[in-house]
Chains A and B, each alone.
Chain A
Amino acid sequence: MTAATTTGGALSPTPQGVEVLRAEGLSKRFGGLKAVQDVSFTHHQGEILAVIGPNGAGKTTLLNLLSGVYRPSAGRLHLGGRDVTDLPMEARCHAGLGRAFQIVRPFPEMTVHENVTVGALFGKPGQRLPKARERAWALLERTGLAAHADKAAHELTLLQDKRLEVARAVATQPSVLLLDEVMAGLRPGEAQEAVALVRGVRDSGVSVLFIEHIMPVVRDLADRVVVMDQGQVLAQGTYREVTADPRVVSAYLGTEEGLHA
């Protein structure tokens, strides 16, 4: 039932599969602050990649660089072999980058179904409205929101809001989905459902890159982990590899229990 997500055992530094997203020396300065410095990594097709790190490590800035909210001060970003560094947000979406926000941002005056329809209609150029409506329905059914299709987004629970956020992003037909702390604020039971949701997205053929604080979630979900600290990549590898890395342990000093939970 669950796809093979536990790659923790094997020590395989060779990247498997086809590259979908590649960051090359991405940097972002805000005045004198180097929020992200020379970050490089490769994301493979069908992979769930986690980005972790202490508060202020630059994770969210990195995500904003990937989705195009910020332009990098230096470095390039390739999506499916295409250089997308200079594309604005909407063009990156068309190129195949989907994004769900940490703080859910539904369109407040639209129904749940209409919210998802926006993604289905504009995520790729040339979509027709009736088709987009249909696809939105199918996604609501897949994400367990069909019963709430006609509700306003503000009538949903937090978990349902997160489902909506993910469904809307998936509706844009991304090849890579960026998730910013989708588990934040969820109770443990709910977090498990969210984990299942993310796996379902990956199993439907979308590569997932997510930022997460909760280490058990990273352990359960991530095929590979990128650890950031002070704007730089500290380590990358499987969950087991990075958590065994002394530099990672020292970056998390004081939260070691959290790391090994």
Chain B
Amino acid sequence: MSARNVEGGTPVRAAPRRELTLGAALPLLAFLALAALFPFLPLGSRAEFLLQIAFFTLVAGIMALSWDILARSGQVSLAHAAFYGLGAYGYALLLKAGLPWALAMPVAALLAGGASLILGAVTMRLSGMYFAIATLAFTEVVRTIIQNLPESVAGGATGLLVPALLGGNSRAQYALAWGLLAFTVLVSLAVRLTRLHFAFAAIRQGEETARVLGVSIVRFKLLAFFISSSLAALAGVLYAGKTFFINPLETFSLANSIAPLTTSIFGGLYTTLGPVLGAGVLRVAEELLHNSVKNGYLVVYGLVLMLSILWLPRGLMGLRRNKKHGGDL
């Protein structure tokens, strides 16, 4: 009785939304294409310097996007520096142990992923501020452990020399970083377009309701941690191989945990394009400011960030038309 189709007539079967359409993916493809073309531009005498900035922009993109994947499951983490550092140190130590770099890289990523499961299991029942503080403490624990390993192993507080990635060829290094960002983008899209999206979003928007509807939150929260931290570790590998010298203080610095968070918020949370775009814009802005406002560029930078968060609550992604929930990749 009347609990039927109110439209009458033919049953409505609108095309399910949020499919991966070329239109939705276009900005993302354009961004990646531009990034791929960058080394072929006539960069002139400052090529090395510009390539380095571009390289770390890609690294920032991987960090932000991997952080966002974890955030989609409602876990706002301050442990990204830990995974970054575990990637960097894991890679360096595996090279020391004699592994070829191409093997050391994925193994370091998986090791960081494994370590994240410990953190994920401990923080399973925490949320909000308590979760954030626990992840922050985790970073300190990891840093302290690495710093206090015998100096012959991990270099202690002084740090560790890392063989330069790809023989120090900056174009090849850039290509590798681009490839890893593209890989991160693919992982993010895969999360977005499969059942993981529904699980993560449901947990974020109502954990108890999600459980009542059968979402196995333990499994999905840990999976989010594993994916996110492995990708962040890849960024750490790139960092270690590019700077060829790492120390605990810089590698595990709070800034490495905060930057992915602010970048994602600035670009647009829970999207693929947002964090990547945010990294591009913020990194370039940072360099420009650094050049023009030598002293206190951080003040201006912070101000830009604050104002944009105030005026653009949905980040850069909020600037797009047709943004009514969904459609965004």
CB of B17 within 8 A of CB of A89, answer no
Q: Can you name 13 extra interface pairs (CB under 8 A) apart from A110-B205, A122-B198, A169-B213?
A: A89-B211, A90-B214, A99-B212, A107-B202, A118-B202, A118-B215, A121-B198, A133-B16, A141-B4, A142-B3, A146-B6, A168-B213, A193-B2
Contacts of B322 in A (CB 8 A): none
Residue from B11, B14, B209 within 8 A of A101 (CB atoms): B209
CB of A196 within 8 A of CB of B1, answer yes
Residue interface mask B1-25, A partner, CB < 8 A = 1: 1111111000111101100000000
> How many angstroms between the C-alpha atoms of A171 and B326 in the bound complex?
22
**10 pairs, CB–CB < 8 Å, chain A vs chain B:** A67-B212, A93-B214, A101-B209, A108-B205, A110-B325, A118-B213, A129-B194, A129-B198, A137-B13, A142-B4
CB of A123 within 8 A of CB of B214, answer yes
Q: Does B158 contact A (CB under 8 A)?
A: no
Contacts of B14 in A (CB 8 A): 149-150
Contacts of B11 in A (CB 8 A): 141, 146
Q: Does B206 contact A (CB under 8 A)?
A: yes
Residue of A nearest to B326 (CB): A111
Given A129-B194, A144-B4, A150-B14, decide whether A119 and B213 contact each other with a Cβ distance below 8 A. yes
Residue from B1, B7, B13, B198 within 8 A of A1 (CB atoms): B1
> What secondary structure prevails in chain A residues at the interface with B?
helix
Q: Does A113 contact B (CB under 8 A)?
A: yes
Residue of A nearest to B217 (CB): A90
Residue interface mask A170-211, B partner, CB < 8 A = 1: 011000000000000000000001001101100000000000
Residue of A nearest to B1 (CB): A196
CB of B12 within 8 A of CB of A146, answer yes
> What secondary structure prevails in chain B residues at the interface with A?
loop
CB of A114 within 8 A of CB of B198, answer yes
CB of A129 within 8 A of CB of B2, answer no
Q: Does A12 contact B (CB under 8 A)?
A: no
> How many angstroms between the C-alpha atoms of A132 and B194 in the bound complex?
12
Contacts of A197 in B (CB 8 A): 3
Residue from A93, A121, A133, A141 within 8 A of B212 (CB atoms): A93
CB of A146 within 8 A of CB of B16, answer no
Given A90-B214, A147-B6, decide whether A121 and B326 contact each other with a Cβ distance below 8 A. no
Residue from A1, A147, A172 within 8 A of B214 (CB atoms): A172
> How many angstroms between the C-alpha atoms of A107 and B201 in the bound complex?
8
Q: Does A124 contact B (CB under 8 A)?
A: yes
Contacts of B216 in A (CB 8 A): 90, 122
Q: Does A243 contact B (CB under 8 A)?
A: no
CB of A144 within 8 A of CB of B209, answer no
Q: Does B210 contact A (CB under 8 A)?
A: yes
Residue of B nearest to A194 (CB): B3
Given A107-B206, A111-B325, A123-B214, decide whether A196 and B2 contact each other with a Cβ distance below 8 A. yes
Given A119-B214, A196-B1, A196-B3, decide whether A107 and B209 contact each other with a Cβ distance below 8 A. yes
CB of B3 within 8 A of CB of A121, answer no
Residue from A109, A143, A168 within 8 A of B325 (CB atoms): A109
Given A110-B201, A114-B198, A129-B195, decide whether A122 and B213 contact each other with a Cβ distance below 8 A. yes
Q: Does A157 contact B (CB under 8 A)?
A: no
> How many angstroms between the C-alpha atoms of A124 and B195 in the bound complex?
13
Residue of A nearest to B2 (CB): A196
Residue of A nearest to B211 (CB): A89
Residue interface mask B178-206, A partner, CB < 8 A = 1: 00000000000000001100110110011
Give min CB distance, B324 to chain A, whole Å. 8
Q: Does B208 contact A (CB under 8 A)?
A: yes
Contacts of A196 in B (CB 8 A): 1-3
Q: Does A152 contact B (CB under 8 A)?
A: yes
Give min CB distance, A216 to chain B, whole Å. 17
> How many angstroms between the C-alpha atoms of A171 and B5 in the bound complex?
17
> How many angstroms between the C-alpha atoms of A137 and B17 in the bound complex?
12
CB of A122 within 8 A of CB of B214, answer yes
CB of A146 within 8 A of CB of B17, answer no
Give residues of chain A (80-136) contacting chain B, Cβ–Cβ below 8 Å: 88-90, 93-94, 99, 101, 105, 107-111, 113-114, 117-119, 121-124, 129, 132-133
Give min CB distance, B312 to chain A, whole Å. 17
Residue of A nearest to B194 (CB): A129
CB of B205 within 8 A of CB of A107, answer yes
